[in-house]
A and B are shown apart, each in its own frame.
Chain A
Amino acid sequence: MSDKKEWSKEVEALQAVQLAFDLSSDIQRAFRVAAAMQDLNTSSMVRKVLNLPYRRKRIRPRLTVTLHEEDFEQLAARYQLPASDRAAIRQRVAEELGQFATAFLADQDTPGS
């Protein structure tokens, strides 16, 4: 298709859209990461970069996960616990999230990472 001569301009236009999409995705990712690192929501981060007034702190930042029946079953299988022992499963979830956070923060502190 791209060999068809009279469509070459259209293929170029499509490539321009693809570049724009990639750039937008990169920018969005950068803003999400920057916002998270500064305890801001994304729109506050955008406003900060533009030197516009913004809300300083995220409203009630918290880490929650809602576990459904099938989630408990999946986690129980992975932790080799009975699905009915929700307290133990929650305990293992908390430990796993803690391990992730510790590893993540250590990784961030590594020079050159």
Chain B
Amino acid sequence: MDTQSLILALGDATHAGRTFNVMPVAGDDPVLQIAVSGADETPVYLTVTESQILCLVYLFEESEIRTSALPELHESMLRISVPMPLSALGKVENHYVVYGSLSPTSSQTEVMQELVTLADNAIDLLQTFEDFLE
């Protein structure tokens, strides 16, 4: 599975009634920005390496968090991360993210399942963590 074949596959695909709007992002390494219908506000960034297909949604920046709420937010993130289906929480530079990774040999259906779940999880998380933000 590579980004080029995903552009073609996802463009016409439907999964659990959801469709995918795929936009390649200009750059040296291929990265796709994928908006899942019904969760357009949490676009998924996807890239493929030799060892994984990495799917990632940006949630908020460090500067958006109320300083006094930071320890409680981190505790909450660690606890939520385990039961959350197919996704985990993490940090990239100063951005908090939710991500999921799949084997590069995953099927198209598995990738679509990950994208839909991840985009929906991101919306749920933004609501869950709303009180921790400025």
Contacts and interface: CB of A to CB of B under 8 A. Distances in A.
Main secondary structure of the interface of A (DSSP, over half): helix
A14 interface: yes
A49 B123 CA distance: 30
Contact of B25 (A9, A10, A12, A20): A20
Interface residues of B, number: 21
Interface in A15-46: 16-21, 23-24
Given A20-B45, A21-B45, A21-B58, A13 B92 contact: no
A2 to B, nearest CB: 12
B61 to A, nearest CB: 11
Interface string B62-95: 0000000000000000000000000000001101
Interface stretch (B9-17, B49-57, B114-122, B125-133): B49-57
B26 A16 contact: no
